[in-house]
Structure 1
Amino acid sequence: MTQQLYVGIDKDAKGGLTHLGRIVRDAWIFGILPGSETCEGWDSARMQNLYEKVYAAWEPYAHLPSKLPENLREKHEQYYAQAIEAARNSGWNPELDKDE
């Protein structure tokens, strides 16, 4: 049985707009990880640990970007706007596929 490792946000599908990519991006926003950390090669246990930290960081804001303080909201808008633009440039369509 082989263990699956995360490919890294820079190599993730849909410009990193996947569940794992969003965890990494949110970790950057909250300062849990430096923006240079792609999480390439991280195993599922390490990604789960990161998810738990990100989840806890979102809790005071009810998991809503609109409730973030201005500095975090600006970072959120910047990171996600860049990700959406990159995803669209690589052919991503925001319409859900039949498999989604």
Structure 2
Amino acid sequence: MTNQRYAGINQDANEGLTHLGRIVRDAWVFGILPETETCVGWSASQMQTLYEKVHAAWEPYAHLPSRLPDDLRERHMRLYSEAITSAKAKGWDAELKEDD
């Protein structure tokens, strides 16, 4: 992603259930970004900076949703449940294949 720009979570594969999409969604969970920010056109350096903020936000919770306080855990569940339901309805299969 040297000169490439992020397509944005709404145009990302599998309803944004990709590495970059999860960074955006987690930024929403922690309030780093408003849920209206889809990161369309963001550069690699902008996404890296966002990743670092999200990573730091997860550290107190050992990167485990089960350790989030109730309000964050509920937001996490809502955001990911919506994405997973929508992706499955569009044919996404969460099962890993031999080449994954």
TM-score above 0.5, yes or no: yes
Q: Under a length normalisation based on structure 1, what TM-score does the superposition of the two structures give?
A: 0.95
Identity, in percent, stands at 64
Structure 1 gaps of 5+ residues are: none
Distance 1:99 1:14, change over 3 A: farther
Query: Letter of the aligned partner of 1:10 in structure 2?
Result: N
Moved over 4 A (4+): none
Q: State the Cα distance separating 1:97 from its structure 2 match.
A: 3.6
Give the corresponding residue for 2:33: 33
Most deviating of 88-97 and 58-67: 88-97
- Give RMSD over aligned pairs: 1.1
Query: Letter of the aligned partner of 1:35 in structure 2?
Result: E
Q: C-alpha separation between the residues in 1 aligned to 2:88 and 2:81?
A: 11
Where in structure 2 are the equivalents of 1:37-48 lying within 5 Å?
37-48=37-48
Q: C-alpha separation between the residues in 2 aligned to 1:82 and 1:97?
A: 23
Give the corresponding residue for 2:69: 69
Give the corresponding residue for 1:55: 55
Most deviating of 88-97 and 60-69: 88-97
Give the corresponding residue for 1:10: 10
Structure 2 gaps of 5+ residues are: none
**Secondary structure, aligned partner of 1:63:** coil
Q: State the Cα distance separating 1:27 from its structure 2 match.
A: 0.2
Q: C-alpha separation between the residues in 1 aligned to 2:49 and 2:56?
A: 11
* Residue deviations 1:24-48 (CA, integer Å, cap 9, x gap): 0000000000000000100100000
Q: Under a length normalisation based on structure 2, what TM-score does the superposition of the two structures give?
A: 0.95
Query: Letter of the aligned partner of 2:15 in structure 1?
Result: G
Q: C-alpha separation between the residues in 1 aligned to 2:15 and 2:98?
A: 19
Query: Letter of the aligned partner of 1:78 in structure 2?
Result: R
